[in-house]
């Protein structure tokens, strides 16, 4: 194989203001990490992924428009970015910029809406003349000829020279954008959503144009899009991104016929094709862990207040057949035909066994009851508090699972939702004992998940950040609304894409942070001392 | 009687025809697709129905009836009042359609039918939840720029249906979304539409989406209707060469080598000649 035109090795990019858990600092938070791929000369590589997964950022970074903090970027074998230099790189840093200018002519980016990137006061001819002059392409040829040639190349007529950008259609504008990018005779074009919003005919013309340029000039293209059909029509290989990581990369036919990653599979399941099918929307796009809430029989612990009370209400709203609402004190439970109050302290083994015997029709167990001493590990009464946390959060949950696993099995498998916390995955100073009990809960969840698979029981972990309930009343905002936590949990269970559910930005951010760099998250959390 | 009847509508801008003799009906609980290339007059048709034509556009012929009521015979004020209750619009670009200075919740509360103040927030959250917005309670308190594109689009869909309209006009509501979100949003539109029985005019150039959710389809070019038929016929047995060309230009994710053929120029020329001689 030829030498790659572009190669990235473990590229990492941080952007914006990093949240230091609750505060902010200037270091930025990781948007992309561990990005390694190659683009061959004359290759069209498509980049797909969910909104916010970092596609545009990656494109901009390669074009020299966003700073890169780690890794290596080689263009045509020349290390433009290397580990030794990355630490000091800033967008406005001139020494860094010079490294890029060597290749600026060779790498051009085209944006989704050329209207915003074309100067409205310049005619199209004037706009095209700028790069021609800047990159010294003109030599001795008169500018007009070069501009005519560019316009013809993208399938427009020379008359377009004298028009202003707002006077032409979207598809034509997009071609002007391409003509401008071609002016410097680049070897790599980064095209970000250049055909979205165009009708199929204009789209086909642009796709054909890119293929022609590839065939005649050996142009390479990094084609960013969310349209899988366009990827199939155009690209040689496809790179799938999710949460700033490469999930899958390979030849388009191969990836689309046999996707390896669950996210790619999900994307493909949802893409429509032009066949008449009035039932298509009903075809399930549900993931492998999906469970139905409607007509389920649920058992909720700690149902008298906080998140538990919200669970009870939401289950009824979603059509659960019956909800056993378990609480130590049942007096505060709402009255409803479908609610069965159960007096239960989950640390009382006898009571747990009795509850399982009473509720023999349960299909969904929600282990929500929890205790947080809100005291530091090293404080004097902490041993009792720490034991109590373990007793409720870990042993209580364990005895519930043991008692109800046979019930769920008898009812066809069903599911278990364990209300854990993002603190199951990261430790917060002054809450170490709670974190330990919640981490124990996560370990237990993972083991039980594997063990109960054979009987068809789905086991979910729900790991929110801080929630606005009695438990966190001294915790500073922002806090999640408990109803939003329950919604995220039940939506996640019904969609079934993943069995770990992270409600809210704080949990999502920490989860992404853990994927990028766990040690850094630990350091961030250690900075949180009230 | 159909919910919406557009009857031989013709519109000119500065004397140049932009819609010629366009007729179309949409029934309650029906999704009618309107497809065609850019410049076909799809958006102009939508604007005419909504009563928001640009100043220099003039209706030269035809009628628009909603529930039998002739909209063009109403005074501007009367029409606005009627349509603010009966017609809703889901635009293509969610950012410009939302007021940047007011929270999503406040903007949704505004379009609700009269609701006691105490229930308004709950109702807003119910709608945000209905469009599967995570953290609905928090989003209600957020401003538009704090949400992602997909999220804003869903908020607009919620706003369109929350006003309990009879007719919704959606202009490319899902082009900016990735496949998974698009399918969620389409499913949602269809569920809401079936629950409430509203008629939906779905303006798009994506035939893949049309094939999956529309019951009837109108194909337009150059301000004229080229073909109009039930969806299965348009997709599986299109009569007109132009409809066939549109389908041929549609790429697909499950087949290689499709979607690289633009509409043949000869066909477009033929359409223009036909229009000139008044055929079709
Ligand atoms: N709030 C947060 O910031 C947050 C964040 C992440 C995860 N979580 C988790 O979410 C779950 C619910 O918390 P929440 O915020 O709703 O807290 P909460 O308002 O303090 O409610 C805790 C619930 O657990 C019950 N409970 C405690 N010990 C029990 C026992 N031994 N037997 C039976 N029930 C017992 C309580 O009952 P009593 O009324 O009888 O005490 C109460 O119903 C917990 O597992 C918690 O760890 C909370
Ligand atoms: N200037 C910035 N400051 C802070 N965060 C940013 C900035 N620009 C982007 N981000 C964040 O970086 C992540 C990646 O953004 P990016 O625009 O690359 O996504 P994308 O994959 O192109 O999404 P889309 O499909 O919606 O265009 C997002 O979480 C975004 O919120
Ligand atoms: Mg982008």
State whether residue B230 sits within 8 Å of chain A by CB.
no
| List of residues 6+ apart from A36 with CB closer than 8 A | A8, A9, A10, A11, A71, A246
Residues of B in contact with A280 (CB under 8 A): 212-213
DSSP letters of A410-465? HTTS-EEEEE--GGGTS--TT-HHHHHHHHHHHHHHHHHHHHHGGGT-EEEEE--S
Alpha-carbon Rg for chain B, nearest whole angstrom, is: 19
The helix/strand/coil state of A498 is coil
- At A97 the pLDDT is 60
Asked whether the beta carbons of A287 and A281 are under 8 A apart, the reply is no
Domains parsed from chain A with CATH numbers: 297-526 (3.40.50.720)
CB-ligand 2 contact for A52 (6 Å cutoff): yes
Strands B87-90 and B4-13: unpaired
Confidence of residue A23 (pLDDT cuts 50, 70, 90): very low
Q: Which tens digits make up the pLDDT trace of A185-228?
A: 899 999 988 887 788 888 888 899 899 999 999 999 999 998 99
The helix/strand/coil state of B113 is coil
- At A22 the pLDDT is 43
Instruction: Name the minimum distance, in Å, from the CA of B117 to any CA of chain A.
Output: 21
Query: In B57-166, which ranges are E strands?
Result: 57-66, 69-70, 87-90
State whether residue B134 sits within 8 Å of chain A by CB.
yes
B236 Cα–ligand 3 center, Å: 35
Asked whether the beta carbons of B200 and B34 are under 8 A apart, the reply is no
Long-range contacts of B236-243 (CB under 8 A, 24+ apart): B236/A276, B241/B267, B242/B267, B242/B271, B243/B219
- At A465 the pLDDT is 93
Q: Which tens digits make up the pLDDT trace of A51-68?
A: 778 888 899 889 888 778
pLDDT of A47 > 70? The answer is yes
Residue A436 has a CB neighbour count (10 Å cut-off) of 19
Rounded Cα distance between A281 and A356, Å, is 39
Residues of B in contact with A52 (CB under 8 A): 148
- At A88 the pLDDT is 45
Please state the length of chain B: 280
Q: Which tens digits make up the pLDDT trace of A447-505?
A: 999 999 999 999 999 999 999 999 998 888 788 999 999 999 999 999 888 899 999 88
Tokens in use for A27?
């270091």
Confidence of residue A329 (pLDDT cuts 50, 70, 90): very high
- At A119 the pLDDT is 84
Please list the rounded mean pLDDT of every run of 10 residues in chain B (280 residues): 93 91 94 89 90 90 94 92 90 77 91 85 85 80 80 86 90 78 82 87 90 95 94 95 92 87 87 68
Flag the least confident range among A4-8, A11-15, A91-95.
Answer: A91-95
DSSP letters of A148-209? HHHHHHTT--GGGGGS-GGGS-HHHHHHHHHHHHHTT--SEEEEESTTTTS-HHHHHHHHHH
Asked whether the beta carbons of A129 and A143 are under 8 A apart, the reply is yes
Confidence of residue A111 (pLDDT cuts 50, 70, 90): confident
pLDDT higher at B162 or A404? A404
State the distance between the two ends of chain B, measured CA to CA, in whole angstroms: 25
- Which range has highest mean pLDDT (A162-171, A305-314, B206-215)? A305-314
Q: Among A500, A372, A477, A504, which Cα is nearest to A432's?
A: A372
Query: In chain B, which ranges are E strands?
Result: 4-13, 16-26, 31-35, 57-66, 69-70, 87-90, 167-171, 199-204, 216-221, 224-230
CB contact under 8 A, B212 and A272: yes
CB contact under 8 A, A197 and B208: no
Rounded Cα distance between B30 and B50, Å, is 18
Long-range contacts of A146-154 (CB under 8 A, 24+ apart): A146/A183, A150/A179, A150/A180, A150/A182, A150/A183, A151/A124, A151/A179, A153/A179, A153/A182, A153/A213, A154/A178, A154/A179, A154/A182, A154/A209
Backbone CA torsion sign across A224, A96, A135, A9:
negative
Query: How far is residue B46 CA from its own chain's centroid?
Result: 7
State whether residue B213 sits within 8 Å of chain A by CB.
yes
Instruction: Name the minimum distance, in Å, from the CA of B70 to any CA of chain A.
Output: 32
User: Whose CA is closest to atom 2 on ligand 2?
Assistant: A16
Spell out the SS3 assignment of A276-336: CCCCHHHCCCCCCCCCCCCCCEEEECCCCCHHHHHHHHHHHHCCCCEEEEEECCHHHCCCC
Q: Given strand A339-343, what is the order of strands in its sheet?
A: A339-343, A322-327, A297-300, A364-367, A415-419, A458-462, A500-501
Rounded to two decimals, the pTM is 0.82
Report the chain B residue with the minimal C-alpha distance to residue A488: B134
The helix/strand/coil state of B99 is coil
Domains parsed from chain B with CATH numbers: 4-276 (3.40.50.300)
A459 Cα–ligand 1 center, Å: 19
Tokens in use for B134?
């995570």
- At A524 the pLDDT is 81
Rounded Cα distance between A481 and A487, Å, is 10
Angle at CA A208, nearest 5°, toward A207 and A212? Answer: 120
What torsion do the CA atoms of A228, A233, A234, A236 make, to the nearest 10 degrees?
Answer: 80
Tokens in use for A346?
């989950």
CB contact under 8 A, A201 and B129: no
Residues of B in contact with A486 (CB under 8 A): none
Strands A18-20 and A364-367: unpaired
Q: Given strand A70-75, what is the order of strands in its sheet?
A: A29-39, A6-15, A70-75, A78-81
Rounded Cα distance between A283 and B200, Å, is 22
- Report, as an integer, the average pLDDT of A115-139: 82
Confidence of residue A140 (pLDDT cuts 50, 70, 90): low
Exposure on the CB side of residue B65, measured as CA atoms within 13 A: 16
A527 Cα–ligand 1 center, Å: 26
Asked whether the beta carbons of A427 and A435 are under 8 A apart, the reply is yes
Asked whether the beta carbons of A506 and A466 are under 8 A apart, the reply is yes
ipTM over 0.90: no
The helix/strand/coil state of A100 is helix
- At A82 the pLDDT is 78
Q: What secondary structure letter does DSSP report for A394?
A: I
Instruction: Name the minimum distance, in Å, from the CA of B1 to any CA of chain A.
Output: 24
Q: Which tens digits make up the pLDDT trace of A223-253?
A: 999 899 999 999 999 999 988 889 999 999 9
pLDDT of A381 > 70? The answer is no
State how far the alpha carbon of A239 is from the alpha carbons of A58, A309, B215, in Å.
12, 44, 36
CB contact under 8 A, A480 and B150: no
Residues of A in contact with B211 (CB under 8 A): 272-277
Asked whether the beta carbons of A326 and A355 are under 8 A apart, the reply is yes
CB contact under 8 A, B178 and A52: no
Q: Quote the mean pLDDT of chain A.
A: 88
Residues of B in contact with A232 (CB under 8 A): 251-256, 258-259
Rounded Cα distance between A390 and A395, Å, is 6
Rounded Cα distance between B57 and A50, Å, is 40
State how far the alpha carbon of A165 is from the alpha carbons of A114, A160, A175, A350, in Å.
9, 9, 11, 77
Exposure on the CB side of residue A182, measured as CA atoms within 13 A: 24
Backbone CA torsion sign across A190, A195, A196, A197:
positive
DSSP letters of A223-243? EE-S-HHHHHHH-SEEEEEET
Instruction: Name the minimum distance, in Å, from the CA of A197 to any CA of chain B.
Output: 6
Asked whether the beta carbons of A241 and A55 are under 8 A apart, the reply is yes
């Amino acid at each position: 194989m030829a030498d790659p035109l572009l190669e990235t090795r473990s590229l990492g990019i941080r952007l914006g203001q990093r949240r230091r858990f609750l505060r902010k600092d200037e270091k930025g938070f990781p948007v992309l990490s561990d990005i390694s791929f190659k683009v061959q000369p004359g290759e069209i590589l498509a980049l797909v992924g969910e909104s916010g997964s970092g596609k545009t950022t990656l494109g901009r970074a390669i074009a020299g428009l966003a700073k890169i903090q780690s890794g290596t970027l080689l263009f045509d074998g020349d290390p433009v970015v290397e580990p030794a230099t990355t630490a000091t790189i800033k967008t406005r840093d001139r020494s860094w910029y010079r490294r890029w200018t060597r290749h600026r002519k060779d790498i051009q980016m085209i944006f989704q809406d050329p209207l915003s990137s074309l100067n409205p006061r310049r005619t199209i001819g004037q706009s095209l003349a700028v790069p021609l002059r800047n990159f010294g392409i003109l030599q001795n040829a008169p500018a007009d000829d070069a501009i005519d040639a560019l316009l013809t190349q993208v399938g427009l007529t020379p008359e377009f020279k004298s028009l202003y950008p707002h006077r032409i259609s979207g598809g034509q504008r997009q071609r002007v954008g391409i003509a401008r990018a071609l002016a410097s005779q680049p070897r790599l074009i980064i095209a970000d959503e250049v055909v979205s919003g165009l009708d199929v005919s204009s789209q086909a013309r642009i796709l054909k144009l890119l293929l022609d340029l590839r065939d005649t000039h050996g142009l390479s293209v990094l084609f960013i899009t969310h349209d899988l059909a366009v990827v199939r029509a155009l690209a040689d290989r496809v790179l799938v991104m999710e949460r700033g990581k490469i999930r899958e990369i390979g030849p388009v036919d191969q990836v689309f016929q046999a996707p390896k990653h669950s996210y790619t599979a999900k994307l493909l399941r949802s893409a429509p094709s032009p066949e008449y099918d009035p039932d298509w929307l009903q075809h399930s796009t549900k993931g492998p862990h999906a469970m139905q809430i409607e007509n389920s029989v649920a058992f909720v612990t700690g149902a008298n207040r906080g998140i538990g009370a919200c669970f009870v209400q939401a289950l009824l709203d979603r059509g659960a057949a019956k909800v056993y609402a378990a609480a130590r004190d049942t007096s505060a439970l709402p009255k409803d035909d479908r609610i069965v109050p159960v007096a239960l302290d989950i640390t009382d083994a006898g009571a747990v066994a009795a509850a399982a015997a009473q509720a023999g029709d349960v299909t969904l167990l929600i282990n929500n009851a929890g205790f947080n001493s809100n005291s530091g590990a090293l404080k004097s009464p902490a041993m009792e508090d720490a034991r109590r946390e373990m007793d409720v959060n870990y042993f209580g949950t364990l005895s519930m699972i043991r008692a109800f696993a046979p019930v769920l099995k008898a009812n066809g498998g069903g599911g278990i939702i364990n209300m854990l916390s993002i603190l199951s995955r990261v430790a917060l100073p002054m809450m170490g004992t709670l974190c330990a009990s919640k981490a124990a809960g996560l370990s237990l969840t993972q083991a039980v998940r594997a063990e109960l698979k054979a009987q068809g029981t789905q086991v979910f972990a729900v790991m929110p950040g801080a929630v606005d309930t009695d438990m966190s009343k001294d915790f500073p905002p922002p806090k999640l609304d408990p109803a939003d936590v329950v919604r995220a949990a039940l939506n996640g269970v019904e969609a079934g894409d993943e069995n770990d559910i992270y409600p809210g930005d704080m949990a999502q951010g920490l989860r992404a942070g853990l994927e990028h760099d766990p040690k850094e998250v630990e350091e961030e959390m250690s900075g949180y001392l009230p | 009687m159909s919910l919406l009847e557009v009857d031989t509508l013709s519109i000119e801008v500065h004397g140049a025809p932009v819609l010629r003799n366009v007729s179309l009906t949409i029934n309650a609980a029906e999704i009618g697709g309107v497809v065609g290339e850019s410049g076909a007059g799809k958006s102009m048709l939508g604007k005419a129905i909504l009563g928001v034509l640009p100043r220099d556009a003039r209706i030269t012929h035809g009628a628009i009836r909603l529930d039998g009521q002739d909209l063009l015979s109403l005074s501007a004020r009367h029409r606005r009042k009627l349509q603010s209750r009966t017609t809703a619009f889901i635009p293509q670009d969610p950012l410009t359609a939302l007021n940047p200075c007011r929270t999503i919740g406040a903007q949704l509360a505004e379009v609700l039918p009269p609701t006691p103040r105490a229930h308004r927030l709950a109702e807003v959250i119910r709608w945000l939840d209905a469009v599967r917005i995570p953290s609905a309670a928090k989003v209600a308190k957020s401003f538009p720029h704090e949400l992602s594109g997909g999220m804003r689009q869903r908020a607009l869909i919620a706003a369109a249906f929350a006003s309990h309209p009879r007719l919704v006009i959606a202009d490319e509501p899902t082009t900016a979304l990735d496949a998974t979100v698009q399918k969620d949003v389409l499913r949602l539109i269809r569920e809401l539409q079936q629950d409430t029985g509203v008629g939906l005019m779905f303006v798009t150039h994506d035939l893949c989406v049309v094939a999956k959710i529309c019951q009837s389809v109108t194909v337009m070019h150059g301000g004229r209707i080229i073909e109009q038929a039930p969806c299965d016929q348009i997709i599986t047995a299109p009569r007109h060469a132009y409809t066939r060309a549109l389908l041929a230009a549609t790429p697909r994710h499950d087949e290689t080598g499709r979607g690289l053929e633009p509409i043949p120029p000869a066909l477009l020329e033929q359409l223009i000649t036909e229009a000139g001689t008044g055929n079709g």
